[in-house]
Amino acid sequence: MTIRHKLRLWWRGHWLWVCIALLAAVSVILPAVYLAGLEENTRRYLVAMNVASLPWGLANTLVFVGFLYLLQFGGGFARFRKVRINSEAVRVRFTDVVGLGQAKREAWEVVQLLRDRRRLNSIGGHILRGVLMSGPPGCGKTLLAKAIAAEAGVPFLSVSGAEFVEVFVGVGAARVRKLFRQARDYAAAYGACIIFIDEIEVIGRTRILHDAFGGGAETNSTQNQLLLELDGLSGGGDNIVVIGATNAREDILDPALLRPGRFDRKIFVGRPNLAERELLFGYYLGKIKRDPQLDVARLARKAVGKTPAEIENVVREAALIAARGKKDFATMRDMTSAIERIELGVEHRLSLTPREREMTAWHEAGHVLALYLTHPANDVFKVSIRQRGGALGVVHSMPREEIHSADRDTLLAHIRVSLGGYAAEQLRYGVTTEGVGLDFAAAMELAHKMVWRLGMGDSALAGDYPVIPETQLSESVKQKLNEDTQRIISGQLAQVQKLLREERPAAEALVRELLAREELDFDEIADVMLKCGKPPRVMQPAAEPASSESGARIPAGN
Ligand code: ZN
């Protein structure tokens, strides 16, 4: 049974070569036999004629092939182009997928279903048809899909949604048909098969009924074909699982795709949490030479919100920096400068006047003091007055732990920190610079959101006001909301001003250090603060609830 299917699969891939080989053999043997029966002179004559006409024949062939090429690639006859379906031998195991705890547990179920397909089929059930993986780019969706295929020991066909996009209506649909036909062949030969469609939102976005230029018709027909093929899988014995991956929000996809029996199983592949980032750093750092003292836990804390791909990038960049510095291994310093280079761009040297430089130092010191002394949730990781990417200085801060929903105190603290630069310039010089523009924009936006949308203003107006059309909001309501917004700004500004007045010695010490060293990291800031009598703010590892390892059994190694 399977041998016949494997033969058929081989024939599908090689029939052209077999035909060519046969033809070549015939065209050599027949003339040889024929010539052997002729007279010596005639034979010489014929062979000479053929050899003489060879260049001419070659020229003809070249012209012909040239025209064919033009037709295919220049003339828009994209119909000839093949869909690039990769049926690679995947060797990604679950142990190679690091730091995707929850997603891995869910994917493991799919693997088990695929492994138990025989029992499942005999009971009369069929394995699930569609799995939708969603999440931000670079979080390992493709890797996870490959791992599912490898662990289940089934072929893996991968294709990108963009490959189905064509100008001509029907071409995309034909490709979908072909993809599923091929998958059926593979499934018949190997028992099951996985189709992985990356960027499924390209063909899966909500269908348009009509638009002015007839656009969308092609997408619609492609998607209809996909739905048809998905429904066709219900026949039972096919054992084909379609895994779609998307970076977009789920609501961009057509509801028909998400209906039961289609992409009804969802796996969210999100950004790794602290513990997972630590694993990821450990994994990628294992591939390079690194300082044995390097504090992986602290590194993971610094990389809040980074995806696995970004973490890999940081480690690679750090190795480059270490190599350029002619060091034997990468240190913590290399890691932090790699993160900064990726996030903030390469340093530029602008020629600042001493006064500008000093003002920048005061500005940044204002941010740092507000952050260090009053922020409940964020730590300042680094402050710098080196110029990067157009900014004169920067304060690098990060949440102590992943906060998914900030409270009012935290939001007010964000505003205070934003206003710290302005307050410091004002305190020291009496005048301020245009460097406060972006800070103000950030503070304003946040205060506006707090009052207009989150019900955090002083007056009792609570609600998401932008939902209501502006014409239906009474002037008095608008005025009250705007007053609330301004009250938040001025209240926080007053607090920062008071803080800086009281802590002026600390601010001056900080500015001195900044001017001398240009960059201070957390420990150095803490030193300065300690000398000014400020209690140390311990950078504790964020306490994180250990993820429960209940449920599916997953291979160890992660
Ligand atoms: Zn600023």
Among 370, 360, 513, smallest CA distance to 429 is for 360
Q: Which strands form 193-198's sheet, in the order they lie side by side?
A: 156-160, 193-198, 240-246, 130-134, 265-268
**Domain end residue (candidates: 49, 78, 107):** 78
CA separation for the pair 512, 507 (Å, rounded): 9
The count of domains in the chain is 4
The three-class DSSP label of residue 236 is coil
Q: How far apart are CA 436 and CA 496, in angstroms?
A: 15
Strand 347-348, strand 387-388: pairing = antiparallel
98 and 62 share a domain?
no
Report the separation in Å between the CA atom of 391 and the middle of ligand 1, taken as the mean of its atom positions.
Answer: 9
Instruction: Write down the pLDDT at residue 461.
Output: 85
If asked whether residues 329 and 446 sit together in one domain, one would say no
Three-state secondary structure readout of 451-500: HHCCCCCCCCCCCCHHHCCHHHCCHHHHHHHHHHHHHHHHHHHHHHHHHH
Q: Which uninterrupted H or E stretch holds 242?
A: strand 240-246
| Positive/negative CA dihedral, 72, 78, 79, 83 | positive
C-alpha distances in Å from residue 549, one per residue of 104, 109, 302: 11, 14, 26
C-alpha 36 – ligand 1 centre gap (Å): 94
Cβ count near 397 (within 10 Å): 20
Residue 310, domain CATH: 1.10.8.60
| Token digits of residue 104 | 């891995």
Distance in Å, CA 535 to ligand 1 centroid: 25
Q: What range defines the domain where residue 284 resides? A: 274-344
**Cβ-based neighbour number of residue 393 at 10 Å:** 24
Q: Do 53 and 199 reside in the same domain of the chain?
A: no
For residues 359, 362, 367, 372, the Cα torsion angle rounded to the nearest 10 degrees is: 160
Contacts of 422 (CB under 8 A, 6+ apart): 366, 432, 436, 439, 440, 493
Q: Which of 132, 350, 364 lies closest to 241, judged by CA? A: 132
Asked if the structure places residue 73 within a domain, the reply is: yes
Q: Is residue 286 part of a domain?
A: yes
Q: How far apart are CA 221 and CA 122, in angstroms?
A: 35
Task: Answer with the one of 344, 371, 406 that is the final residue of a domain.
Answer: 344
**What's the confidence (pLDDT) of residue 80?**
40
Task: Give the separation between CA 340 and CA 162, rounded to whole angstroms.
Answer: 34
Is there a single domain that holds both residue 369 and residue 483? yes
At residue 541, the pLDDT reads 45
Which DSSP symbol is given to 161?
G
- Going from the Cα of 82 to the center of ligand 1, the distance in angstroms, rounded, reads 54
- From the CA of 141, how far away is ligand 1's center (Å)? 37
Distance in Å, CA 439 to ligand 1 centroid: 5
Q: For residue 230, what are its two tokens? A: 């998905």
Q: How high is the mean pLDDT of the chain? A: 82
CA of 436 to the centre of ligand 1 (A): 6
Please state whether the predicted TM-score (pTM) of the whole model is above 0.85. Answer: no
474 in a structural domain: yes
Based on its alpha-carbon atoms, the radius of gyration of the chain, rounded to whole angstroms, reads: 33
How far does the centroid of ligand 1 lie from the alpha carbon of residue 23, in Å?
76
* Residue with tokens 């240009």, as numbered in its chain: 518
Same domain, yes or no, for 121 and 11? no
Dist. CA 94–CA 114, nearest whole Å: 15
Nearest to 196 by CA among 229, 247, 157, 154: 157
The pLDDT tens digits of the residues spanning 493-524 come to 999 999 999 999 999 999 999 998 888 878 78
Q: Which residues are catalytic?
A: 364
Domain annotation covers residue 223: yes
Six-digit token pair at 515? 């001017």
Tokens of 361: 């130092």
- Tell me the three state secondary structure of residue 243: strand
Task: Report yes or no on 553 lying in a domain.
Answer: no
* 332 and 363 share one domain: no
Do 410 and 512 belong together in one domain? yes
Task: Specify whether the CB–CB gap between 426 and 435 falls below 8 A.
Answer: no
Question: Distance, CA 369 to ligand 1 centroid (Å)?
Answer: 12
Pair 233, 262 in one domain: yes
Q: For the purposes of burial, counting CB atoms within 10 Å of the CB of 133, is it exposed (0-12), middle (13-18) or buried (19 or more)?
A: buried
Q: Do 181 and 201 sit in the same domain of this protein?
A: yes
475 belongs to a structural domain: yes
Question: If we measure between CA atoms, which residue out of 262, 238, 87, 240 comes closest to residue 158?
Answer: 87
Give a yes or no: residue 62 inside a domain.
Answer: yes
Strands ordered across the beta sheet of 519-521 = 394-399, 378-384, 519-521
Per-residue confidence in pLDDT tens, the chain, 558 aa = 578 888 888 888 888 999 999 999 998 888 888 888 888 888 889 889 889 999 999 999 999 988 877 765 554 444 444 445 555 567 788 888 887 888 888 888 888 888 887 777 777 666 778 889 988 888 888 889 988 888 888 888 888 888 877 666 677 788 888 888 888 888 888 888 889 998 888 887 776 655 555 555 666 788 888 888 888 776 556 788 899 999 887 778 888 888 887 887 888 888 888 888 888 898 898 888 888 888 888 888 777 778 888 899 999 999 998 998 888 888 888 888 888 787 766 666 667 788 888 999 999 999 999 999 888 888 777 788 887 766 778 887 777 766 677 889 999 999 999 999 999 999 999 988 888 888 999 999 999 999 999 999 888 788 898 888 888 888 999 999 999 999 999 999 999 999 999 999 999 999 999 998 888 878 788 888 888 888 776 554 444 433 333 333 334 333
Rounded Cα distance, 449 and 440, in Å = 14
- Whether 71 and 88 map to the same domain: the answer is no
List residues bridging with 196 in a β-sheet: 158, 243
**308 to 100, 139, 140, 269: CA distances (angstroms):** 9, 5, 7, 11
φ and ψ at residue 539, rounded to 5 degrees: -85, 90
How much is the pLDDT for 25? 92
Cβ atoms of 369 and 507 closer than 8 Å? yes
Q: Which DSSP state fits 303?
A: T
Which of 268, 300, 320 is a domain's end point? 268
Residue 198's domain is classified under what CATH number? 3.40.50.300
Q: Are residues 108 and 246 in the same domain?
A: yes
Residue 531: inside a domain: no
Query: Is 290 in the same domain as 426?
Result: no
